[in-house]
Amino acid sequence: MATVRQDGSPRISGIEVEFSDGDVVLGMMPGSVKLADLRRDPRLALHSGSEDPPKENPSEWIGDAKIAGRVVEVPDLERPLESAHHFRVDIDEVVLIRVGEPADHLVIESWHEGRGYQRRDRK
């Protein structure tokens, strides 16, 4: 996850992401620097970790996913006594990148709130 530090520079932090009732949800420990970053500036970017495409058939690669948006702090109604802080991501942009079929190009699919869905093939 990328957030914006107090001085405006980027901060990269590991985070676990949950998908709950159609929402992207993040949890953070009290006092964490990423929590302070997001309370100050709610913008963030998430990037999935992925493995390299399989050599035998690169088109079977699941690909990479990226999400950008802003967070909104939400109460955790299922665990109200825990001290973690929970956020829902209001998504502005989603990008999926994978190897095409045949495996001679990349397929880049994206959705942006202002532009809608786009697909590009790049050699």
Question: Where residue 106 sits, what CATH number does that domain have?
Answer: 2.30.110.10
Number of domains in the chain: 1
Closest CA to 91 of 26, 34, 28, 11: 26
Q: pTM of this prediction?
A: 0.83
Q: What is the pLDDT of residues 67-118, one digit of tens each?
A: 999 999 987 666 655 677 889 999 999 999 999 999 999 999 999 988 999 9
pLDDT digits (tens, 9 = 90+) for 4-56: 999 999 999 999 899 988 999 998 888 899 999 999 999 999 998 788 888 88
- Domain ranges, residue 107: 2-122
